[in-house]
Structure 1
Amino acid sequence: MSTAARTDDTALSEAQFARVREWVYRRTGIQFAESKRYFVDKRVQSCVRKHGGSFDAWFAGLRLGADPALAQQLINELTVNETYFLREDHQFEGLVHSVLPAIAAERRATGSSQPIRILSLPCSTGEEAYSIGLRLLEDWEDIDDFDVEIVAGDIDTRVLSFAQRGEYGPRSMQRVPLAVRTRWFDRVDAETYRVKQDLRDAMDFRVVNVCDSESMRAYRDFDVIFCRNLLIYFDEVSSRRAAENLFGALRPGGHLFLGHSESMSRISPIFTPVRLPEGIVYRRPPIGAAR
């Protein structure tokens, strides 16, 4: 059997792998290196088997967009979701002890009644978004004085469904103190906890693609964005596009938190790095600020 004639129960041919990789890159901004070939092969084969028929028939349906479910299924298969509660907790410290107090002071000084808006992107299975809510409820002294909106977005619909259920096992819960578990979680069984209904209801989970500039126009005027450990999967072009979309989603003066191994200074000059006691955060310059 020739390489080009391989079917869905074997490894992708070079041409097939290239076609899938290009489609995923254009759709999500994620670029899979040759070292990820086995990972992509297995997940594409799974999609082809579920669809039935040949790779070529499946990919034609994917590319033409006749069945949007094909695209979402492949995106779900290829996205990586690795997270837990209170991950890189020093950044939540920076949020509640440095960033939010400054926002609160500004709101009071201007007499603004606008809610404080926070975006968690990509939210994966929800631990980051719920961690933001937990830290505000537990540690931000002004929480009762302001309305807060938390929007959590991801490109993977499966993880969004998981996040909305709010049920987590030992690995996700490993850093959550017992007192916090008692206040904000219900015990499901010996190893599983469910986020209490009030906190789940406070979250707005949505499908969001940070590299889709058109759809990102719906996201504006956020005071804070957490976008951690995503840009490391992008090349220079996709990273810059994502940076511009994140910039547009922030209000002037808003703050962006990135992962510990990410640096906006290497991607785009449009943000201003700010050194907080808890670490570096990036800011969209306020209106009238010198650039």
Structure 2
Amino acid sequence: MSETLFLSAAELRRLCAFLYRETGMLFGETKRYYIERRVADRLAATRTANFAAYFGSLRADAQEREALINAFTVNETYFYREEHQLACLSRSLLPDLITTRRPGDRIRIWSAPCSTGEEAYSIAIWLLENWRLVDAYNIEIVGSDIDTRVLEAAREGLFGERALSRMPPQLVDAYFGPVQRHRREIIQDLKESIAFTQANLVDGPSLAAQGIFDVIFCRNVLIYFDDQSRLIAAQNLYDRLAPGGYLCLGHTESMSRISDLFAVRRFEDAIVFQRPEGFRER
């Protein structure tokens, strides 16, 4: 158990400014308890005497900067979350995209942020179960997150009862091994079919390294950003989408309130946002 830590107003502002620069997430006085608990854990883990010494060491210690950022990321997810968007993917988005493709062409789908992998694996399972042309195209699914811990968990592919609670039992049995120590492991074929990479939604170069995608799932993260960070993320997501590609946000999020780069598309199962065809200057 880490000791109680109290940050001065100035220390809190410095830390929040650092987190904002690194992640785009906005923290402040209202999250003081949450912040102090996580910083206290890092001081204990690094055996640092006080916040001033700890914060001063971050510039030279990339590994600890990463550990601190990991401590503040939000990783709430489960399989088949917002299932209506998965239905939209197989019923509307992919059928629209393949009108300009040939069998065998590559289709890239991105889960960002992917947390511990539930969303990326859900997309793969959904398509195997619900899109009859899944084997006719080269489907590439990538999951990205800023948090290196959750990426390791995603690659490991072990999930507990809560993560699997929304998934039909027959699919759990089909795609996961038997229960061992209260967790089930996703089958090796699926584990090997998805690439998990580190990326930061407000860092253009780290996103550019991921390439161009036809469909992006970026759900329930922009609500943690302020207006400026949302604008930066919107531009970065736009740049990662192929012309005509689709962006799926969380059910409480709307790109129309953030940026005019995207066209609103209303399908039977969901409202999504499309990068218009053709070139558009920034």
Shorter-normalised TM-score: what interval?
over 0.9
* Per-residue deviation, 1:178: 1.7
Match of 2:121 in 1: 130
Quote the RMSD (CA, aligned, Å): 1.4
Q: Which amino acid aligns with 1:145?
A: A
Matches within 5 A, 1:102-251: 102-108=96-102, 113-189=104-180, 191-251=182-242
Match of 1:53 in 2: 49
* Per-residue deviation, 1:189: 2.4
Q: 2:256 and 2:211 mapped to 1: Cα distance? A: 22
* Runs of 4+ that moved beyond 6 A: none
- Aligned partner of residue 187 in structure 1, secondary structure: coil
Query: Does the CA contact (< 8 Å) of 1:83 and 1:124 recur in 2?
Result: yes
Q: 1:174 and 1:168 mapped to 2: Cα distance? A: 10
* Per-residue deviation, 1:69: 0.9
Match of 1:23 in 2: 18
TM-score normalised by structure 2 residue count: 0.95
TM-score normalised by structure 1 residue count: 0.92
Q: 2:125 and 2:104 mapped to 1: Cα distance? A: 23
* Per-residue deviation, 1:213: 1.5
Match of 1:74 in 2: 68
Identity fraction in percent = 45
Query: Does the CA contact (< 8 Å) of 2:13 and 2:28 recur in 1?
Result: no
Match of 1:101 in 2: 95
Q: Which stretch has the larger CA shift, 113-122 or 222-231?
A: 113-122
Per-residue CA deviations over 1:185-233 (Å, capped at 9, x if unaligned) read 1113273211000000001001110101122222332000000000000
Q: 2:113 and 2:25 mapped to 1: Cα distance? A: 13
Per-residue CA deviations over 1:15-65 (Å, capped at 9, x if unaligned) read 111110000001110001322111011001111222223211110111x2x
Unaligned runs of 5+ in 2: none
Query: Does the CA contact (< 8 Å) of 1:254 and 1:283 recur in 2?
Result: yes
- 1:270 equivalent to 2:261? Answer yes
Query: Does the CA contact (< 8 Å) of 1:220 and 1:251 recur in 2?
Result: no
Per-residue CA deviations over 1:56-90 (Å, capped at 9, x if unaligned) read 1110111x2x1101111111111111110000000
* Per-residue deviation, 1:288: 6.4
| Distance change (3 Å), C-alpha of 1:179 and 1:61 | same
